[in-house]
Structure 1
Amino acid sequence: MTLYKRFILPLFFGRHFYWAFVGVILLYVLSYNWPVLLPVAKISLWFFLAMVVLDYGLLFVKKEGLKIERIVSEKFSNGDINKVQLAITNQFHFRITLKVIDEIPVQFQQRDFSVDATLNSGETQNIAYNLRPTARGEYIFNDTNVFVKSPLQLVVRRLKREGEQMVKVLPSYLALRQFELLAYSNNLAEAGSRKIRKIGHSLEFEQIKEYVTGDDIRSINWKATARKGGQLMVNNYTDERSQQVYCIIDKGRVMKMPFEGMTLLDYAINATLILSRVALIKQDKAGLVTFAENIGNFLPADRKASQMGSILETLYNQQTKFLESDFEKLYAHVRTRIAQRSLIILFTNFESLSGLQRQLPYIRHIARNHLVLVVFFENTELRQLTDQPANDIETVYTKTIAEKFVYEKRLIVKELQQHGIFTILTAPQHLTVNTVNKYLELKARQAI
């Protein structure tokens, strides 16, 4: 195959070549009836051949007529728009027309990708396009093919930038950066998080400071005020720190359901990454557990500097085997490995009340020693079915069944709440914001 490729000429003929060639043939055909056209046909043929040779010489006189460089990050953010740039420099001495075909990774299944451009001599142009991956893993970019035409546009030369580039698609670190900046500035409301009114004081004392308008007068420290000669001093409290927050991700078959190109597992992984970072910024300890038919990964809760790197590396390779998840093994693992009372955020999915009832005893056992928050997903496709008008019998049946499943989701929420278990029923696209909101709410209420 390599030897065969070596002898393929990077030469093609453009549309103008075929139109001109058809014109010459037409002149020869007409010269049968009008012989006076025969000399015109011969002159046209020789002129056409001369132009083809000239065009060939213009395009192939330089061995490297273009400088091609693909500018791409070493990693992509899963579920987000990622930018790719092609920097192309025209080294010919004339204006050229380009058709660029970049061999993007096969995961995108985009077979008709091409970009057209025009470059003057010596001009460099950045051709940018966007890609949105929907699965984690390694993505391979292959060759970049550029088809070049001179102003004559008779001959087309193919120039190729050979070489593979591997890009890792990681959980959504672009959204992570956004939440990280907002969490540092205590401005998470800009990302959709609600401001939660704190109930009473946090139990952790931070410092004594001078009173300013707006401080709670019940926090005035009279002894410190007396020492300051009448300047009011108040006790300043902060949120309790070093609380353990564990995100537990179900990797069973129920998490393989797709939504907008991504699986529920990927949405849970993205939310876990962001929630862990917010917890670390709030001085809590973040940990991670994954499970399916067996316990997968266990990362003890910590707030060391390398914790986020460990979480990201662990989440990167998580996949499902399409088997039923074993909640009994999860309960045994949590009981033996997580001794301190913690906030357990369980990302899973229940489609029926009977599905919940099979696993409810194990979730209740976990909730005896920990604060459990169960996060599962609303089926938005069913919601669309229930909202559509019923104009015939078939639609009535379909709508009735859809409403039954939607109602059963609400029953699942009620069943969990009856046993003192916090729940979030959310659409996949709102998962991250709703989970962060609930974490901040539980922290403000000192529930952990």
Structure 2
Amino acid sequence: MKKFFKSLYLQQRFFIALGILVVLFVFAFFFERIVDYLKIGFFVVIGLLIFDILLLYRSKNAIKASRNLPDKLSNGDKNPVEILVTNRYNSSIDVKIIDELPVQFQERNFEIKDTIKSGASRTFPYSVRPTERGEYHFGGLQIFVSTVLGFAQRKFSVDQDAMVPNYPSFLQLRKYELMAFTNKLKDYGLKKIRRIGHTMEFEQIKDYVQGDDVRNINWKASAKRNQLMINQFQDEKSQPVYSVIDKGRVMKMPFEELKLVDYAINSTLVISNIALKKGDKAGMFSFSDKVSNQVMAQKRASQMNLILETLYNLDTDFKESDFGR
């Protein structure tokens, strides 16, 4: 019985009906002829409330709900979350969904309202944008159900406590990786510049085709083959690419809800990934008054995971950055 009363909520529509009856009973002091009708009206309202409660509680498992979360959150990005609700009642119902979001979001007015037909399932998508790295603990789902009468409301509690870690922005990593390999970075203001010195290494000798740089013609090979041959070069590979992150007190400054150090961390992740994909070695370290969080530049398969795990817990301190060191 205690569980029943904890899940039952009387709706505003019921109190409005009672309020109207109370006002009419006041007028009944002057018009005694309507008293009998008001008594009938009172019992009708109570009867409708009881009937509404019976409709709501006729089935124990009338609502099925679940929440689909990503394996990990991407810091500073919109991460999709889905709530699936199935209506097992024999009639349409109005639902109000309250999701217990992690305390980091400071969201106290989150709710979703909709109508679900009998036997139907509905997916309610929404997104969250975390701005602090660390663990995000989601609570349960609270589903409030009411019928067409709308006199009472029943609460279903779905225990779906879950912890999702929030990592540096791997969504941006994928975005810029795609741009780098489809040559679309020029759309974002990047352009090629002339390199000073020899930064190309020999790859192969191939037949000359129209448009090749004539300065790269291999005259000895051309004489042997009796046709023009050209040296083909490629960018130097296996260069060590280091990202250096300043984690001094200045980097604690917020910008669009993210700390400056978080932008540096997200950029480090993107640069390291592109460097590894292009055949170079990627590494990183951070500094303030001393150097820390060192990851030596390597080209192994697990290098990105090592960098990601190092960046996960990296944060600023209140010390002055020693650039001389």
Indicate the TM-score class for this superposition, using the shorter chain for normalisation.
Answer: over 0.9
Distance 2:219 2:51 in 1: 96
Residue aligned with 2:6, SS: coil
Q: Name structure 1 gaps, 5 residues minimum.
A: 328-358, 364-448
For residues 8 and 222 of structure 1, the distance between their equivalents in structure 2, rounded to whole angstroms, comes to: 94
2:306 paired with 1:310? yes
Per-residue CA deviation, residues 59-115 of structure 1 (Å, 9 max, x unaligned), is 111112211111110111111111111111111111111111111111111111111
- Kindly provide the CA deviation profile for residues 151-195 of structure 1, in whole angstroms up to 9, marking residues without a partner as x: 000001111111311111111111100111222334432454323
The residue type paired with residue 9 of structure 1 is K
Equivalent position to 1:161, from 144, 151, 158: 158
In structure 1, the partner of 2:267 is 271
CA separation in 1, counterparts of 2:201 and 2:6? Answer: 75
- In the TM superposition, what is the alpha-carbon distance from 1:290 to its structure 2 partner? 1.8
2:37 is matched by which residue type in structure 1? V
Report what 1:298 is aligned to: 294
- Residue 223 of structure 1 and its aligned partner are, at CA, apart by 3.1
Alignment of 1:204-219 (within 5 A): 204-219=201-216
Aligned match of 1:258: 254
- Paired residue for 1:52? 49
- 1:87 equivalenced with 2:107 (yes/no): no
Aligned equivalents of 1:6 and 1:252: distance in 2?
54
Aligned to 2:239: 243
Contact 2:138 2:163 survives alignment (8 Å): yes
Q: Distance in 2 between matches of 1:268 and 1:245?
A: 15
Deviation sequence 1:363-394 (CA, Å, 0-9, x none): 6xxxxxxxxxxxxxxxxxxxxxxxxxxxxxxx
Q: Secondary structure at the match of 1:36?
A: helix
Letter in 2 for 1:58: L
Higher helix share: 1
Alpha-carbon distance in 1 for matches of 2:9, 2:31: 34
Q: For 1:195 and 1:244, how far apart are their aligned partners in 2? A: 21
Which of 67, 72, 79 is equivalent to 1:70? 67
- Code of the residue aligned with 1:282 in structure 2: it is K
> How has the CA–CA distance of structure 1 residues 191 and 76 changed in structure 2, closer, same or farther, with 3 Å as cutoff?
farther
TM-score, with structure 2 as normaliser: 0.94
1:318: Cα distance to partner?
Answer: 0.8
Q: Is the 8 A contact 2:66 2:160 kept in 1?
A: no
Q: 1:184, 1:281 within 8 Å by CA — same for their partners in 2?
A: no
Moved more, 311-320 or 193-202: 193-202
One of 167, 170, 173 as aligned partner of 1:173: 170
Counterpart contact for 1:220–1:233, Cα < 8 Å: yes
Residues in 1 aligned to 2:271 and 2:58: alpha-carbon distance in whole angstroms: 59
> Residues 17 and 192 (structure 1 numbering): CA distance in 2 closer, same or farther, change over 3 Å?
farther
CA deviation digits over 1:115-153, x for unaligned, max 9?
A: 111111112111111211111111111011111110000
Preserved CA contact (<8 Å) 2:283 2:298: yes
1:271-420 equivalences under 5 Å are 271-325=267-321, 327=322, 359=323, 362=324
AA of the residue aligned to 2:167: L
Alignment of 1:21 with 2:54, yes or no, is: no
Task: Work out whether residues 11 and 157 of structure 1, in 8 Å CA contact, stay in contact via their aligned partners in 2.
Answer: yes
Q: Which region of structure 1 is more displaced relative to structure 2, 44-53 or 215-224?
A: 215-224
Q: Check conservation: 1:79, 1:133, Cα contact below 8 A.
A: yes
Task: Find 2:105's aligned residue among 103, 108, 117.
Answer: 108
TM-score, normalization: structure 1? 0.69
- Mean Cα deviation higher: 253-262 or 191-200: 191-200
Percent identity at matched positions?
Answer: 44
What is the CA–CA distance in structure 2 between the aligned matches of 1:253 and 1:66, rounded to whole Å? 51
Counterpart residue identity of residue 79, structure 1:
G
- Residues of 2 paired with 1:211 and 1:34: CA distance? 109
Aligned-pair CA distance for 1:247: 1.2
Aligned residue number for residue 149 of structure 2:
152
Check whether the contact 1:105–1:140 (CA below 8 A) recurs between aligned residues: yes
Take 2:194 and 2:120, find their aligned partners in 1: how far apart are those partners? 58
Between the aligned partners of 1:94 and 1:195, the Cα distance in structure 2 is: 64
User: What is the distance in 2 between the residues matched to 1:226 and 1:88?
Assistant: 76
How far apart, in 2, do the equivalents of 1:279 and 1:158 lie? 53
Distance 1:238 1:186 in 2: 16
Contact 1:182 1:190 in 2 (8 A): no
Aligned pair partner of 1:61 in 36, 58, 77: 58
Structure 2 stretches of 5 or more lacking a match?
Answer: none
Paired with 1:221 and 1:274, the residues of 2 have a C-alpha distance of 39
Deviation at 1:6, TM superposition (A): 5.8
Q: Secondary structure at the match of 1:20?
A: helix
